[in-house]
Amino acid sequence: MTKPSQPKLPTHLETRNQIGEKLVSPSASRNSQVIGQQLDKILPIGAHVLEIASGTGQHGAFMCALRPDIYWQMSDIDDASRQSQNAYAQEFQMQMPPSLPLNMMDDGWADNIVPVDVIYCANMIHIAPWQAALGVAKSAETVLKEGGRLCLYGPFLKTVGSASSNVEFDKSLKTRNPEWGVRNLQAVKHIFADSGLSHCTVIEMPRDNFFLVFK
Ligand SMILES: C[S@@+](CC[C@H](N)C(=O)[O-])C[C@H]1O[C@@H](n2cnc3c(N)ncnc32)[C@H](O)[C@@H]1O
């Protein structure tokens, strides 16, 4: 008798509505503008960006509309997410190539990536094992051009004085999957410093989120 296939574990927790081929996350709709304001400041003219864990694809589409000069490569571990990303990419064919199937826990994820000015990754490292954060850090330097930057967005815990919403979120993530969890900001800084990205600017964002810029 054939063994039943294992249910696929979810790779995200967000609410997603389907509109045609596109997925729409209310959270991405809400935060695109504030994240966009930060990214706009750091993207050089004509910037090439690699987005890790692009989710629905809304952040990339928002940025390509805001900045017609940039080139934005989306990626994700999840096929359904990549399908939605490709639907958004259809509207920005000069700026967005088809999404890449990248898993940050795969040692060779960066092997065929053309170097970029900026790596951007939002809301992934708490909804994935710590190994995924290590995977981003390990290969970031090889993917970034000289002087490039890496941006992370999401919730983080502070050593002292974390927002109670983030402490509660951490607990609820761990009940769903003990390998998930809101990451400690210092631990995150350390793993990127170990990979050569030792300067980190921390920007406080709405709803107890942070925007981190490493260089
Ligand atoms: C909460 S969603 C965030 C999506 C988008 N970045 C945003 O902020 O709206 C997390 C995304 O991370 C992706 N993901 C989870 N584990 C991953 C991994 N190991 N490598 C790459 N992507 C991963 C999921 O498939 C999902 O699309």
pLDDT tens for 20-55 read 999 999 999 999 999 999 999 999 999 999 999 999
Read off the pLDDT band of 13 (50, 70, 90).
confident
Residue 132 belongs to some domain of the structure: yes
- Total structural domains within the chain: 1
Q: Is the CB of 104 under 6 A from ligand 1?
A: yes
> Considering the entire predicted model, what is its pTM?
0.95
Q: Ligand 1 centre from 129 Cα, in Å? A: 12
Residue nearest to atom 9 of ligand 1 (CA): 28
Q: What is the mean pLDDT of residues 172-196?
A: 97
Q: Is the CB of 127 under 6 A from ligand 1?
A: yes
Residues 63-110: tens digit of each pLDDT = 999 999 999 999 999 999 999 999 999 999 999 999 999 999 999 999
**What residues are paired with 201 via a beta bridge?**
213
Do residues 182 and 170 lie in contact, with contact meaning Cβ atoms separated by under 8 Å? yes
| Residue 7: predicted pLDDT | 46
Q: Is the CB of 51 under 6 A from ligand 1?
A: no
Residues 107-143: tens digit of each pLDDT = 999 999 999 999 999 999 999 999 999 999 999 999 9
Read off the pLDDT band of 15 (50, 70, 90).
confident
CB atoms within 10 A of CB 199: 11
Residue 130 belongs to some domain of the structure: yes
Residue 58 belongs to some domain of the structure: yes
68-73: long-range contacts at Cβ-Cβ below 8 A with a sequence spacing of 24 or more?
68/95, 69/45, 70/43, 70/46, 70/95, 71/46, 71/47, 71/95, 71/96, 72/96, 73/48, 73/49, 73/97, 73/99, 73/100, 73/116
Residue 86 belongs to some domain of the structure: yes
Read off the pLDDT band of 210 (50, 70, 90).
very high
Q: Is the CB of 76 under 6 A from ligand 1?
A: yes
Give the range of the structural domain holding residue 148, as residue numbers without chain letter. 17-214
Residue nearest to atom 5 of ligand 1 (CA): 55
Residue 165, domain CATH: 3.40.50.150
Tally of residues, the chain: 215
| Residue 60: predicted pLDDT | 98
Q: Is the CB of 77 under 6 A from ligand 1?
A: yes
| Residue 1: predicted pLDDT | 43
